[in-house]
Copies of this chain bind each other. A is one copy, B any other.
């Protein structure tokens, strides 16, 4: 057994197997400070907020350890579970007496709140006759799923194994209740599907898998219509992805983004166990539609505030982007599972994109504040907050970061896979060999990745290295000699050879600055470009550009841009500096073009990685920048 974040070790339809996060040691200049901040600042602060807002007391009142009423919203239990999960993963590879004690206290409170039949939900404790009656809004299986995931993390990582019994009891209650002979319905918010498959993987008990299959196949049949909570907020069936079965979806629905992406994640888990072809076809169709027509260049998903939902094709507004932090986390979860199923690099590309941009923007550099909504342009009033009444995002980004070491590597029957380039070492069993891989890199600032392969004995196996989709001209050297095969972007190059202790592999991925053009149907970005360097999307923030209206900065293709590492800035970032123009504005909101005369002045400008914005003074920000000679550049003279 190992601390697997998604354990596909025995999944018949998964190409890749996971590496235990306890076998990965991250010592990366980019990520290690984030993990340290998570351990020292974010998780302890979040524990205090859970206590202060009554979220833990809600459990204690069920066991009688707290006198008082239920506090907060009906899905608040899930915030506690996600914090447990985050803390459990973190404690797998980092030591913290403080967090261990907090975890123990919270797990105590949770375990003691379980009712004799296995049900646990602190909101419905006061109205048990209503349980499972209002699934459209109640989030009961959603909360249950988070508890199961938290318990699995606690058990696999060893941080607090006893929560597992609570989760199993609850899962048994669900399995006994929801099926063709019991309640035929899904939960308004998908989440339990992933959790049930993982519990099946953990326990070997096929009832949990069957329940996940039931949930996935029952979805889209309108069962939620019979489970409306009176006087509650509501949306249409499509919001809940309950309008059409998954296998019949030909395009991504105008659904709540997190609900959709959790459902896709759970369905992918189901596929990896069952090999359901219809499901797989749907997952692929929907993945293409999402990533090629409805995803932000940051990897964020969610184009509408109303319903926190995905939009129509190419509907990707900047200032009114929703791009919820939770949706970025969920997008990573889904793509990671698609990657496990296939070993195809296109999924790792999206995973990396969402990780370094949309998701990472969700938390401040100091680990104290969070975005719920992640716009791609802001007039300057949008700021991270320490907490939210609906507090799904903070513990979600926390559990993602805590489980990061688990996303870096995978195994297949024939070798070791490197998905993300992070300075770290990993030990993995390949057949009867134990292979250590040591990775050193300054990624994402520099594309040189130095690796040392240390098998316990010389052996033939394959080292799979991801050639990022954004890269051009990557080169590979093995023990100082050029590797002569072509490295195609968005593939894994599989280097199969007899590896010996100390073999050196160097991957050099040029990190050029690219101006990215959006599809012409993205009405929000006509003739604009976004600046990308390596896996990072850049933005222009007011504070770096004093005296310049960032909304009026325009580029030409002739503008020279350069990347400079600035150790002092924002924890150390590569800044992109260059020539640009500041345009004036016309005087009236609408003018005949014959009357418009805009001033123009050459300027120098600076852009920073998008993930780092809003960590300093308030001010406007934009990702997409007008390119004055856009059409000259892109239109092929006919």
Q: A residues within 8 Å of B by Cβ?
A: 230-233, 291-293, 295, 297, 304-306, 311-313, 315, 317-320, 377, 379, 381, 514-530, 532, 551-552, 554, 557, 583-586, 588-594, 596-601, 622, 626-631, 633-638
Contact = CB atoms under 8 A, between A and B. Distances in A.
B598 A516 contact: no
Contact of A517 (B230, B519, B524, B592): B592
**Chain multiplicity (copies):** 2
A193 to B, nearest CB: 27
B585 A521 contact: yes
A628 B631 contact: yes
A171 B594 CA distance: 53
Given A517-B592, A521-B551, A628-B635, 9 more contacts: A305-B305, A517-B591, A517-B596, A518-B590, A519-B585, A519-B586, A526-B526, A593-B630, A598-B636
A31 to B, nearest CB: 25
A552 B520 contact: yes
Contacts of A520: 551-552, 583-586, 598
A6 to B, nearest CB: 27
B592 A514 contact: yes
Contact of A519 (B293, B318, B381, B590): B590
A532 B589 CA distance: 14
Contact of A635 (B231, B306, B521, B583): B583
B379 A312 contact: yes
A623 to B, nearest CB: 11
Contacts of A514: 592-594
- Of A305, A514, A526, A584, chain B has the most CB atoms within 10 Å of the CB of A526
Nearest to A530: B590
Contacts of A523: 318-319, 377, 524, 551, 622
Given A320-B320, A634-B598, A636-B599, A313 B379 contact: yes
- Of A291, A518, A597, A631, chain B has the most CB atoms within 10 Å of the CB of A631
A32 B367 CA distance: 66
Nearest to A527: B527
Contacts of A232: 231
